[in-house]
Amino acid sequence: MKSVSATPGSPAPVKNAEAPAQRRVGERLDDQPPVPLLGKIQRQLHAHPLLGPTAVLILACVVFTAMVGPRFIDPLNVSLILQQVQIIGMVGIAQTLIILTAGIDLSVAAVMVFTTVISGKLAAEAGLPAVVALVIALATGAACGFLNGILVTRFRVPPFISTLGTLSIFTALNLLASGSQTIKANVLPDLLLWPGETFRVLGAPVTYGSILVLLSFVAVAFILKRTAWGEHIYAVGDNAEGARLSGIRTTRVLLSVYVVAGIICAIAGWLLIGRVGSVSPFSGEGVNLASITAVVIGGTSLFGGRGNVLGTLLGALIIGVFSNGLTLAGVDVLWQVFTTGVLVIVAVGLDQWTRKVAG
């Protein structure tokens, strides 16, 4: 037999060449370098959004326990933190739903306070039964949310602008309805004050309002994950036009989100009455910004379509832990505000960094 020789200009035959498809499963290609540590962390944070806020909360608890001592983890202090964050947490649920749709609501605190005035006036001065007054307050919250939703969906006003306008409207209505007067606890029915009532756990007082907030987080987390409405919220926030083309009624979804958010703000108003022990048209200061802070720190993206309401719970707890821990450590209030600002910037920067994985 004649030996086969390479002709001039032709490549030499390669012996035992393996096609890439014939490589063993799991064998790393030589031209694919190993993923660096930062890349692995980035992918983990993108795949598990709750990982970041959980780590921050645990680390903060460890640091403040080391700084302050056992009194930080004392049941009485833990109970105090829960009471301090319950209003932020409940309003944060409403804010989370709206931010998941790539919107934002600057009127949540105004809606909350307005509904407290409505329920307080009807129960204490008009003589209506507390249950009826509470139901009307919830309906008022729904109406406020409906107005926001109509402005966003029908009139195409950007959420930031529309809710900035309704913030002023609801604040003015609040002052008009209340006459800038505070309604004290001695004329309020027990039902309106019930969220502030306590029971004992490990010797520490726990309010019924705190339990209601925790149950609300669990319920909304289930709805977002297990229902079609929850899936539609994520779809609209991620790509509204794509969701519409796939058959989702985006206008109806957005409108329903704002209405539900208004009802949740009214529930937060009920909690506020129990927490403060009165109805004041000037209460709820700083809740707007604090609710957005809790949502952002909790890992929900301001661009919509990504996040978890349980992250908002962690975000609210982080705010409470930092505020309480710095106070016990004797740190000036201005540095507490400074720390909150740093947390927000870091959280948004982290969200931008982890989003690059999807890009």
Strands (E), the chain: 198-201, 204-207
Alpha carbon 153 to chain centroid distance?
22
| Distance from C-alpha of 346 to C-alpha of 335, rounded to nearest angstrom | 16
> Which residue, among 307, 294, 339, 326, has the nearest Cα to 85 in the 3D structure?
294
Q: In angstroms, rounded to a whole number, what is the distance separating the alpha carbons of residues 33 and 96?
A: 39
User: Which pLDDT does position 349 carry in this prediction?
Assistant: 82
Question: Token pair for residue 169?
Answer: 């409207």
pLDDT for the residue 280: 94
Of 89, 78, 87, which Cα lies nearest the Cα of 325? 78
Judge contact between 77 and 324, C-beta under 8 A: yes
- Report the pLDDT value the prediction gives residue 33, as an integer from 0 to 100: 62
Q: Say which CATH topology domain 50-67+76-352 has.
A: ABC transporter involved in vitamin B12 uptake, BtuC (1.10.3470)
Name the residue with tokens 């010797």.
203
Alpha-carbon distance of 182 to 154, in angstroms, equals: 37
The number of residues in the chain equals 359
What pLDDT is stored for residue 87 in this prediction? 96
Residue whose token pair is 């705010």: 319
For the record, the structure tokens of 61 come out as 């608890």
Output the pLDDT for position 351. Answer: 75
Contact 108/261 with Cβ under 8 angstroms?
yes
**Phi/psi at 201 (5° precision):** -135, 115
- What pLDDT is attached to residue 71? 92
Kind plus residue range of the DSSP H or E element containing 109: helix 108-124
Q: Rg of the chain's alpha carbons, rounded to an integer?
A: 26
206 forms beta bridges with: 199
Instruction: Write out the two tokens for 123.
Output: 């129960």
3-class DSSP assignment, residue 204: strand
Q: How far is 304 from 318, CA to CA, in rounded Å? A: 22
pLDDT score, position 4? 47
Which residue in 50, 111, 118, 83 sits closest to 260, CA to CA? 111
Q: What is the DSSP letter of 205?
A: E
* Segments making up each domain of the chain, as ranges: 50-67+76-352
Average pLDDT, 10 consecutive residues per value, the chain (359 residues): 48 49 49 69 76 90 93 92 95 98 97 97 94 98 98 97 97 95 94 95 91 97 97 96 95 98 98 95 91 93 91 95 93 87 84 70
